[in-house]
């Protein structure tokens, strides 16, 4: 039986073996991590009373950890917080062992993982392809087996896209279910702390530990402690998906074929499909990055563009400038539109249990994103951008390994507070596709990959 010290030593061995993979912005020292492992062991923690006992984890570098720098991937922005984010503190209190801070698209602005002024981490299946962002380092750290889970941030898909691109699970909770206190915000209406994990069971075990009402977080839900995270769902259930003409794969035939197989897997799990008009989602998807709500970017980190412009990635700088061009009137109208669409979404989701979409419509290469950083990034967010503006929760799931060897994932989406439904149906879906998590699937025999895709 492995001890927490054994686990920590293996983690650092794997990190050293990968070399400079651009997954980390800062690591704790191995000796400090071993000391923490010894401390929790000596305190006679047990799996019964400490649900995350001895489990290694990491944190995206826009979430505060006491004594660790918060840089958001920008040399011109560097904080040394004295208090950890509420989610981090809860994970540590539950016996998890913190390993380090993860790289990200600068200021968590982007869904591809290439928006850095230095090197960037790569997809664990094929380094030519994007790792997904903005929580790129967090997704790769879990997929590569360096940590068991990671905490990121999600505004428009950052907790789901890296999961899809690297064959792991991304849990995007109901807004306000997990305190966002201790995070550098993009937009407080949309921001949340997602969990990257190897399996649905692992992801929700972490979520159960870090969730809860936070009196100092103005966006925390008062019912955050009572929302059920495990519920029964009938053997037969209804899942919606966009009308065929609204499904976008941006010319990626591998993704289109993979989604068809994922739908079949969901039907084998007991689901009955129905088609819905996706227009409302497309409209909602424009709000985070194409409305007055974008102006909030300047509140959190706009000063860096004035004082240290050379440290800001051009695509990020363009987003900040765009946000500043909106008037107060336009921002108010955007808030009104958001509430209107949320009301429509609440009515729509009474007709089915979950919505199922691709997480990413097309797998892009790093070179493609660098050639068109704005347009292609928007394509990546086609399915993920709408979810938080509509106040929905989501679960990104590995679905198959495509014919070209790249992972393909789907997202299950539910109404706010229905996180437990996602958990139950997500576990059923995982039993159908039977994929090994993360990079472990990369070594599976070809015949096994084909069997799991059927």
CA pair distance 60, 252, nearest whole angstrom: 30
The answer to whether residue 31 is domain-embedded is: no
49 falls within a domain? no
CB atoms within 10 A of CB 282: 16
Per-residue pLDDT, averaged over 69-95, amounts to 96
370 in catalytic set: no
pLDDT of res. 47:
52
Q: How far apart are CA 373 and CA 365, in angstroms?
A: 11
pLDDT value at residue 431: 97
Answer yes or no: is 90 within a domain: no
Q: Is the pLDDT of residue 45 over 60?
A: no
Catalytic residue among 87, 134, 138, 291: 134
158 belongs to the catalytic site: yes
In degrees, rounded to 5, the angle at the alpha carbon of residue 189 between the alpha carbons of residues 370 and 110 is 5
So what's the pLDDT on residue 44?
Answer: 61
Give the model's pLDDT for residue 54.
94
First to last CA, the chain: 36
pLDDT at 450 over 60: no
Residue 402 has pLDDT above 50, yes or no: yes
Residue 211 lies in a domain: yes
pLDDT at 443 exceeding the cut of 90: no
Would 39 be classed as within a structural domain? no
pLDDT of 46: 54
Mean pLDDT, to the nearest integer, of 116-120? Answer: 93
Please report the pLDDT score of residue 297 as a whole number.
Answer: 83
Q: Assess whether pLDDT exceeds 80 at residue 449.
A: no
Average pLDDT over the chain, rounded to an integer: 94
3-state secondary structure of 91: helix
Percentage above 70 pLDDT, the chain: 96
Residue 141 lies in a domain: no
User: Alpha helix (H) ranges present in 240-313?
Assistant: 253-268, 279-285, 296-307
How many domains are there within the chain? Answer: 1
Q: Is the pLDDT of residue 20 over 80?
A: yes
Residue 122: asked if its preceding bond is cis (omega within 30°), the reply is no
What CATH number does the domain containing 440 carry?
Answer: 3.90.1300.10
Q: What percent of the chain has pLDDT over 90?
A: 90
Q: How confident is the model at residue 42 (pLDDT cuts 50, 70, 90)?
A: confident
Compute the average pLDDT of residues 162-185: 97
Domain-embedded: residue 45: no
Active-site residue among 60, 90, 172, 449?
A: 60
Q: How high is the pLDDT of residue 454?
A: 39
Of 29-38, 44-53, 364-373, 444-453, least confident by mean pLDDT is 444-453
User: Quick one: CA dihedral 412, 414, 417, 418, positive or negative?
Assistant: negative
Active site residue 291: no
Band of residue 300 on the pLDDT scale cut at 50, 70, 90: confident
3-state SS, residue 213? coil
Predicted confidence at residue 451, as pLDDT, reads: 42
For residue 175, being part of any structural domain is answered with yes
Q: Give the domain range for residue 445.
A: 108-127+151-453
Residue with tokens 């702390």: 193
Catalytic position from the list 158, 179, 220, 291: 158
């Amino acid at each position: 039986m492995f001890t927490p010290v054994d686990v920590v030593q293996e983690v650092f061995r794997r990190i050293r073996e990968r070399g400079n993979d651009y997954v980390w912005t800062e690591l704790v020292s191995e000796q400090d991590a071993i000391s923490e492992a010894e401390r929790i062991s000596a305190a006679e923690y047990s799996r019964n009373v400490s649900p995350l006992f001895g489990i290694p984890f990491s944190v995206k570098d826009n979430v505060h950890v006491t004594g660790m720098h918060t840089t958001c991937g920008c040399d011109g922005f560097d904080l040394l917080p004295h208090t950890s984010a509420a989610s981090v503190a809860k994970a540590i209190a539950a016996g998890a062992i913190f390993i380090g801070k993860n790289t990200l698209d600068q200021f968590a602005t982007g869904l591809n993982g290439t928006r850095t002024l230095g090197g960037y981490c790569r997809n664990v299946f094929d380094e030519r392809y994007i790792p997904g962002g903005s929580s790129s380092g967090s997704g790769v750290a879990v997929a590569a087996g360096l940590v068991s889970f990671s905490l990121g941030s999600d505004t428009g898909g950052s907790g789901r896209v890296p999961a899809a691109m690297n064959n792991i699970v991304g849990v995007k909770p109901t807004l306000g279910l997990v305190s966002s206190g201790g995070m550098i915000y993009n937009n407080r209406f949309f921001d949340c702390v997602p969990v990257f994990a190897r399996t649905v069971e692992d992801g929700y075990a972490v979520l159960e530990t870090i969730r809860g009402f936070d009196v100092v977080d103005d966006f925390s839900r008062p019912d955050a402690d009572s929302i059920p995270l495990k519920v029964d769902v009938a053997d037969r259930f209804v899942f919606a998906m966009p009308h065929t003409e609204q499904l976008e794969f941006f010319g990626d035939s591998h993704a289109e074929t993979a989604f068809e197989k994922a739908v079949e897997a969901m039907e084998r799990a007991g689901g009955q499909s129905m088609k819905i008009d996706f227009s409302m989602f497309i409209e909602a998807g424009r709000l985070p990055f194409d409305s007055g709500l974008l102006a909030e970017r300047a509140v959190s980190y706009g000063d860096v563009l004035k004082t240290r412009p050379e440290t800001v990635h051009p695509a990020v700088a363009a987003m900040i400038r765009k946000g500043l061009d909106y008037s107060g009137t336009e921002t108010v109208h955007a808030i009104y539109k958001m509430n209107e669409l949320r009301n429509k979404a609440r009515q729509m989701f009474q007709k089915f249990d979950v919505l199922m979409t691709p997480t990413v419509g097309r797998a892009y290469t790093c070179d493609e994103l660098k050639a068109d950083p704005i347009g292609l990034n928007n394509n990546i967010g086609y399915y993920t951008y709408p979810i938080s503006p509509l106040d929905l929760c989501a679960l990104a799931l590995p679905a198959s390994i495509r014919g070209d060897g790249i992972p393909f994932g789907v997202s299950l989406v539910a109404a706010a507070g229905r996180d437990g439904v996602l958990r139950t149906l997500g576990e059923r879906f995982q039993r159908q596709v039977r994929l090994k998590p993360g990079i472990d699937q990369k070594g599976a025999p070809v015949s096994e990959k084909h069997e799991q895709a059927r």
